[in-house]
Structure 1
Amino acid sequence: MNQHLPESAESAEPTGAYRRRGPFREGDRVQLTDNRGRLHTITLTPGEEFHTHRGFYRHNDIIGKPEGTNIVTSSGIEYQLMRPLMHDYVLSMPRGAAVVYPKDAAQIVAMADIFPGARVIEAGVGSGALTLSLLQAVGDQGQVHSIERREDFADIARANIEIFFGGPHPSWDLSIGDLADVLPTVAEPGSVDRVVLDMLAPWENIDAVAKALTPGGVLICYVATATQLSRVAEDLREDGRFTEPVAWEQLVRNWHLEGLAVRPQHRMVGHTGFLIMTRRLADGVEAIVRKRRPAKGAYPVDEQWSEEDLGERIPSDKKVRKVRRDVTAHRDELVEHTGEDSGQDDDA
């Protein structure tokens, strides 16, 4: 078990649960909402103060309070106190690579049937947003092995995940390298329940994934463009070891609710990416071929793919270095402060 929790909490609760219930403690992240719906998120540090243009309050006045109470600033403005939910944390956490939005992470967990105790391979890890959802789904008895090509992205993801859970998660392993090279070294053939790919060219890893998946196992890919979606689908069909792939996208539209003024919000979370899912057939079983297929000229040809070709925004090395430095320093600072007070070695 993780050493960042008190022994009583370790033996009784799953990883991270201790940080997400009970009164506010030092090191907790707190989300404050005013009467206009504006949010502030702070990390509780004894002796610190938080100043806004609407007054200030002391962190000591929040520590020990139950979640769901209010605090009044020096100028008399009330703020509601809550711990951020995971989707709040994901949208505000430091990032190098773009994150998988909560709406897509929820679809991946549900549609790929990420169950407690599942053995999951994820590539790449990016900033760790999807990894959080996968770890919550598999629980302490499952296994998520994330594979990331870039060491700087991996460091950012590790810090984000340890801050959220309050320390290392016992079900998580992280490897640096290419999926095709790493996967055979970390998983026996036919031993993986689910594979989740968030990468530029997932079709390049179909063979490695097919060897690792158990019969009936699920492969789900997150891709940004329709051209990637088409290429994945056709290469899966050509491989012959998978069921007919299905694809979809998820659009979210919030609603304005006030009296009789009930209408859609002017803004919505539209296209973020496509999801395509398929399942591993048993060895020696041929896939059922569709009766109608497009013309031969509709199939893609071999070509080199790059992020620029697909219109993806590439974070600069300078930005990634800054995010990496800041988020790991924040994680280490929390570990140092809470470790001294609790006598434990690791906390966030």
Structure 2
Amino acid sequence: MLSIDPSKRSSLERRICDGDLVIVYERHDKVKAVRVQKGSDFQNRFGVFKHSDWIGKPFGTKVLSNKGGFVHLLAPTPELWTLVLSHRTQILYLADISFVISYLEVVPGCVVLESGTGSGSLTTSLARAVAPSGHVYTFDFHEQRASLAREDFERNGMSSLITVTVRDIQGEGFPDEFCGAADSVFLDLPQPWLALPSVRRMLKQDGVLCSFSPCIEQVQRSCEVLGAGFTGRPSFFVLFLCLSV
């Protein structure tokens, strides 16, 4: 399986193998993830493309159809995965993802806790940022959504860096095994203030919390909880995102 682990060789040096996942790029607003299978075809408005013609070619190659049309075969990076994944929930896109990862100070080797997983767009980029020695532990209360996200991470080669767990973080908090172990925590919850006492116990002394809140009322309520119950806590940085989605 093709991995998007940054420790691997550049995608321009890798050649497509039978069983690899490729991103078929038609134009900027039309891309699709395809599993290469010898003997199979890919069809679109440009004609029929034989998978057997793709095998052995470098990622980034322009390939022709039986009618002379063409597509480009790209390696599945987190940026491209965001464009092709199934939207089970509202997702973060690249501009916001880069902002989150920057302010969370996520670097290789970090342990990141995320709730909720949703469609896995941010999760995939977090995994690349912590690779090769870090790990992302992501939680979602919805069992089917968590299962589908787990399948997606298997498909795009990131499963070794991501653990998906079904858990209601608002009601139960993060598991005790992560107490004092998290470098960063990301919350995307309807009532993030309910999870803050647990976050307090999970973060390292210099850890970073980011809470994504689409409305200012969520931010205000969370700030009230932080102000009332976090006195005496070793310093950590809190970032609230209040963005239009």
Name the TM-score class by shorter chain.
0.7 to 0.9
Local SS of the residue matching 1:125? coil
Contact 2:7 2:131 in 1 (8 A): no
* Residue aligning to 1:54: 46
1:1-348 residue pairs with structure 2 within 5 A? 17=8, 20=11, 22-34=14-26, 39-41=30-32, 42-165=34-157, 168-169=159-160, 171-179=161-169, 181=172, 183-188=174-179, 190-239=180-229, 240=231, 241=233, 245-248=238-241, 271-272=244-245
Stretches (4+) displaced over 3 A = 13-21, 31-34, 36-40, 240-250
Residues 154 and 111 (structure 1 numbering): CA distance in 2 closer, same or farther, change over 3 Å?
same
User: Corresponding residue for 1:309?
Assistant: none
Shift of 1:14: 5.1
Which one-letter code corresponds to 1:51 in the other structure?
Q
TM-score w.r.t. the length of structure 1 is: 0.61
- Which has a greater percent of strand? 2
Q: Which protein has the larger Cα radius of gyration, Structure 1 or Structure 2?
A: 1
Q: Secondary structure at the match of 1:165?
A: coil
CA drift of 1:51 comes to 2.1
Task: State the SS of the aligned residue for 2:18.
Answer: coil
Note the aligned Cα RMSD (angstroms). Answer: 2.9
Give ranges in structure 2 of 5+ residues lacking alignment.
none
- Residues 15 and 58, structure 2, Cα contact 8 Å, conserved in 1: yes
The number of residue pairs the alignment matches comes to: 239
Letter in 2 for 1:87: E
Aligned amino acid, residue 59 of structure 1 = H
Q: Structure 1: how far apart are the matches of 2:56 and 2:77?
A: 19
Q: SS in structure 2 opposite 1:183?
A: coil
Show structure 1 runs of 5+ residues with no match.
Answer: 251-270, 273-348
Distance 1:79 1:243 in 2: 47
- 1:208 is matched by which residue type in structure 2? S
Tell me: CA distance 1:82–1:246, structure 2 relative to 1, closer, same or farther (3 Å). closer
% identical aligned pairs: 26
What letter matches 1:207 in structure 2?
Answer: P
- Could you tell me how far apart the structure 1 residues matched to 2:37 and 2:10 are? 15
- Alpha-carbon separation, structure 1, partners of 2:237 and 2:6: 37
Alpha-carbon distance in 2 for matches of 1:16, 1:245: 30
- Structure-2 separation of matches of 1:182 and 1:140: 27
After superposing the two structures, state which structure 1 stretch, 216-225 or 99-108, moved more: 99-108
**SS of match in other structure, 2:195:** helix
In 2, the alpha carbon distance for the partners of 1:79 and 1:199 equals 39
Kept after mapping to 1: 8 A contact 2:39/2:51: yes
**In structure 1, what residue type is equivalent to 2:80?**
D
**CA, structure 1 residues 141+80, in 2 after alignment: closer, same or farther (shift >3 Å)?**
closer
8 Å Cα contact 1:123-1:199 kept in structure 2: yes
